[in-house]
Amino acid sequence: MRLLLLLILTVVLSACGNGESDTGSSGGPSSESTNAGASTGVEVAGLRFVPAPQWQDLGASAMRKAQYRQAPVSGDTEPAELYVFHFGPDQGGSIEANIQRWLGQMSLPGGADPTGTADRSQFQVDGMPVHALSVAGTFAMPVGAPMARQTEPREGYRLIAAIVEGPEGPVFFKLTGPDATATAMGKQLDTLVRGVRKAR
Domain harbouring 64, CATH code = 3.40.1000.10
6 pLDDT higher than 80: no
Structural domain includes residue 103: yes
Domain range for 107: 33-198
Predicted confidence at residue 170, as pLDDT, reads: 96
Q: What is the pLDDT of residues 68-86, one digit of tens each?
A: 999 999 999 999 999 999 9
Q: Which of 88, 168, 87 is nearest to 128 (CA)?
A: 168
Structural domain includes residue 11: no
Structural domain includes residue 120: yes
Q: What does the alpha-carbon distance between residue 66 and residue 58 come to, in Å, rounded to a whole number? A: 7
Structural domain includes residue 24: no
Q: What is the mean pLDDT of the chain?
A: 83
Structural domain includes residue 113: yes
The angle formed by the CA atoms of residues 49, 186 and 33, to the nearest 5 degrees, is: 65
Structural domain includes residue 191: yes
For the segment 130-147, the average pLDDT, to the nearest whole number, is: 89
Element (H, E) at 141: strand 128-143
Total domains present in the chain: 1
Residues of the chain with pLDDT > 70, as a percent, come to: 78
Q: What does the alpha-carbon distance between residue 156 and residue 102 come to, in Å, rounded to a whole number? A: 16
Structural domain includes residue 101: yes
- In contact, 185 and 175? CB cutoff 8 Å: yes
User: Can you give the pTM of this predicted structure?
Assistant: 0.79
Where are the alpha helices (H) located in the chain, listed in sequence order? 2-17, 95-104, 179-194
Q: What does the alpha-carbon distance between residue 163 and residue 102 come to, in Å, rounded to a whole number? A: 12
